[in-house]
Structure 1
Amino acid sequence: MAGAAPHVMVLPFPAQGHVTPLMELSHRLVDHGFQVTFVCTEPIHKLLLDALQRDADGDSGGGEALDGIRLVSIPDGLADGDSRRDLGKVLAGVLGRVPGYVVELIRATEASGERKVRWLVADSTMACCYQAARDLGVRVASVCPASAACLVTSLRIPQLVQDGFFDHNGFPKRNGKIELAPGMPPLCPTQMAWNIDGAPEGRQAAFELVLGMAQVTGLAEIVMCNSFLEAETAAFELCPDIVPIGPLFADQELRKPVGQFWPEDASCLEWLDAQPEGSVVYVAFGSFTIFDPRQFRELAEGLELTGRPFLWVVRPDFTSGGLSKAWFDEFQKRVAGKGVIVSWCPQQQVLAHPAVACFVSHCGWNSAMEGARNGVPILCWPYFSDQFANRSYICDIWRTGLGVTHGEDGVVTKEEVKTRLEQLTGDKGIAERARVLGDAARKSVSEGGSSYDNFKRFVHLLTE
């Protein structure tokens, strides 16, 4: 296309696991010459700017831009004093108010003399904004940061309600697993993406949001997914409208910022350099999981029992309080040199490191894809939402990992942690299958690969 590059507005759902893949996509669009405005809700925008400011050391220009991506914010629709850890309130704000804010932003952008926004490239979870954008003459492309199976399930919900699996509020009416197709994770009606803890209104908002995703194929001109053909063959066959463009990453060298909310402690990479190949257990539970003090202790002591070096990401808000500081200090003393604990780390660089033997994960989709791309076996410890289906992919379909078993009191014991890690790291079949999946993932995003070609098609569509 001759003339100026089209102006694309990118809109993730306000959570780390959604911001990361859309930020990666944005870097790729900038590389193809697009003007990108990245839209976050105010609290997320602030976290991003703070993290960038810390990482900048004066070289990225800090401020409101990031490697050619312009960062702008909109309100999140929550009242003063509402907790942003309350997922129900966050969802209600997204559904009720965010579409209006997006409309205001598009209008204000054009009124300011900026180039007209040609495309809204939006998270499939933000489908509530699609119609509003189209009403302004803005074209819509959808990006699903979760698995294709997760999106296919959302598209099937009206049918599942009709077939009597759920009532009109998403409550299960029938027991037993739901199998959409052989080769896809079977669904447990009590572990659907909208089953969140907290007030019933929150659960209702979550169900509405997932139900809204059923409209993406009608309103978006292209529906993409951070996945690859070999990982989810059955899901892509069941729904050929969904186009795999993953596993997404910002750049081959893993140097570009992917929109982390917390400052990354890169010193752990130097520590990894000093460890033997295939020796380290990497442990990270994403940005949302919270452990109670007892579970935290069992995990810590289980890691210690393995006798292996470990790298463990413990966010400042990772435990629900009540953890004895004296106990934790004592633990850190005992494992000094052997175990490294950081508050956040550059996960993609860690998983690509030859010293890493396996990954203990909550099975968020980004983590599943990053593990797959690097051929790393995974010990699965899912927590909520789509993580149970992702565990099923890893343990039952790809067979590149194992799951932990909770005791009757709901706690995973230190003995279980030790036993499972020994099984996982000693299983040559798992290691080989993980390697083969990693090869397929890398091939798909290399020149001539299916995800590579699909991405080219997307770029072409944006420039029409």
Structure 2
Amino acid sequence: MGIPHFLCMPFPVQGHVNPLMQLALLLAKHGCKVTFVHTEFNHKRANTTAGAGNLIKGSQVELVTLSDGLDPEDDRTDVTKLLLSIKSTMPARLSKLIQHINALDVDNKITCIIVTFNMGWALEVGHKLGIKGALLCPASATSLASAACIPKLLGDGIIDSQGLPTRKQEIQLSPDMPMMDTQNFPWRGFNKTFFDHLVQEMKTLELGEWWLCNTTYDLEPGAFSISPKFLPVGPLMESENHKSSFWEEDKCCLDWLDKQAPQSVIYVSFGSLAVMNPNQFKELAHGLDLLDKPFIWVVRPNDKKDNVNVYPHDFHGSKGKIVGWAPQKKILNHPALACFISHCGWNSTLEGICAGVPFLCWPCATDQYLDKSYICDVWKIGLELNKDENGIILRGEIRKKVDQLLADEDIKARSLKLKEITVNSILEGGQSLKNLKFFMDWAN
């Protein structure tokens, strides 16, 4: 038997590329051969630091690219358009790529394909070629459990054929899971086309023998009763050095952080996809002024020119640093950090947990509402920012909740305790590491 050879294929958005890249680096560190497939567009955009033979610096992960089928000037923030283009053009290209890779090294053929959501078609390609498959879920295990329960939710009349709740209620997906508001299913905000795609995708993903979850048993124990396919291998935090960000990170904020008092800085970031309306943007700016505390605020460079954030004319921001994109893990782990105002995307949630940082929750879409309920109600390591009757989070609310959070020693203590439990699971003897080793043996 040779060593396992994994082909990793994420859906080409930041929140999918990052965790799968972390998994790829971890598999390579354990002696596996890994080929990572970027789209040509993302490869150019990430400007990945590649050495000889397109290997990622300091690892055994080899990068290859495939076209996503769109023209260079097409709008890739239109996820439906991107998805349809990938599904119609990539399968044939992937099949050729696999045969090419296998012909180059007959002794180390691809033994397993790992995909993220929306890329289930690649498991079909692999299946036809006799290659094993697995999913890496970039969201929480609870989100995955919700999607796996769609047929039952439809059958029980809890949601309709568009994925919308039939009435306002709270349900439990399984007896060990927290109560869940039916408004907060992870497909919240999807249109019918996208919901139908999700239903079909879940069926396709059945071809994957394992559904790997970037989480631990301790964080979401109930979710694992939903399906025997679920296998927690998180938190995937392998490499500090590898840059798989699509934007240039502003490192100067780290020098600035070094000059701040311990536990004094508020970090504000809404991930790679969230877009804020102009009124809310102004209110947040005023809220940060009102806090009168040092802050780092990530205002993402926008690909579209028509949606430019305008700072209010009376915004000072003198105590803070506004950056286009930030080295988030380094900031969260910095001793100067006090709390994280977050959209509660799963990657950010895990990074905050692994840094032991308390949260102020500002969910914007999809699975973020679910993550927020874990942060505030289950783990109790953060507080929720509440909107007014117009759906705006006001500056006064921001100040009130920041003050409340920073004064709460219990939340700080729970955050540090949860950090310890979570990080231990990927260390020697931890359950996630045992699961990862089991998975590597299975893939061989």
TM > 0.5:
yes
Q: String of CA shifts for 1:254-280, please: whole Å, max 9, x gaps.
A: 2x2141111111221121111111111
Question: Which residue, out of 286, 307, 311, partners 1:321?
Answer: 307
Further displaced range: 384-393 or 261-270: 261-270
Specify the alignment match of 2:229 in structure 1.
241
Unaligned runs of 5+ in 1: none
Instruction: Give the number of equivalent residue pairs.
Output: 440
Counterpart of 2:218 in structure 1 is 230
1:402 counterpart residue number:
383
Question: What residue in structure 1 maps to residue 63 of structure 2?
Answer: 71
Alignment gaps of 5+ in structure 2 = none
Counterpart CA distance in 1 for 2:375 and 2:203 is: 25
Contact 1:281 1:309 in 2 (8 A): yes
Contact in 2 for aligned 1:281/1:308 (Cα 8 Å): yes
Distance 1:79 1:27 in 2: 30
Alignment correspondent of 1:61? 51
2:298 aligned with 1:305, yes or no? no
The CA deviation at 1:92 is 2.8
**Two-structure CA RMSD over aligned residues (Å):** 2.4
Map of 2:317 onto structure 1: 335
SS for the counterpart of 1:140 is strand
CA distance 1:168–1:104, shift in 2 (3 Å): farther
* Structure 1 position 444 matched with structure 2 position 444: no
Shift of 1:82: 4.5
8 Å CA contact 2:175–2:222 kept in 1: the answer is yes
Which of 111, 125, 136 is matched with 1:118 structurally?
111
Measured after TM superposition, the shift of residue 7 of structure 1 is 2.6
Deviation at 1:324, TM superposition (A): 3.9
User: Is 1:181 matched up with 2:181?
Assistant: no
Task: State the shift of 1:354 in Å.
Answer: 1.3
Could you tell me whether the CA contact under 8 Å between 1:272 and 1:355 is conserved in 2? yes
Deviations 1:154-195 (A, max 9, x none): 111111111112233434333323321355354444443334
Against the structure 1 CA distance between its residues 110 and 432, is the aligned structure 2 distance closer, same or farther, given a 3 Å change threshold? same
Q: Which of the numbers 296, 301, 315 marks the counterpart of 2:281?
A: 296
Q: Distance in 1 between matches of 2:130 and 2:303?
A: 43
Aligned equivalent of 1:412: 393
Which of 223, 226, 249 does residue 264 from structure 1 map onto?
249
SS state of the match for residue 170, structure 2? coil
How has the CA–CA distance of structure 1 residues 113 and 460 changed in structure 2, closer, same or farther, with 3 Å as cutoff? closer
TM-score between the two structures when normalised by the length of structure 1 = 0.88
* More divergent stretch after superposition (186-195 vs 262-271): 186-195
Match of 2:208 in 1: 220
3-state secondary structure, aligned to 1:121: strand
Contact 1:375/1:435 (CA < 8 Å) preserved in 2? yes
Structure-2-length-normalised TM-score: 0.92
- CA distance in 2: counterparts of 1:86 and 1:109, whole angstroms: 31
Residue identity opposite 1:167 in structure 2: D
Instruction: Find the residue that maps to 1:149 and give its secondary structure.
Output: helix
Structure 1 position 13 matched with structure 2 position 11: yes
Structure 2 distance, partners of 1:65, 1:159, is 44
Correspondence for 2:345: 364
Counterpart position of 1:86:
78
Percentage of identical aligned residues: 40
Aligned to 2:144: 151
Offset of 1:95 from its aligned partner? 4.0
2:30 maps to 1:40? no
- For 2:259, which of 260, 263, 274 is the aligned residue? 274
Match of 1:349 among 322, 330, 346: 330
Quote the offset at 1:359 in angstroms.
0.4
Match of 1:283 in 2: 268
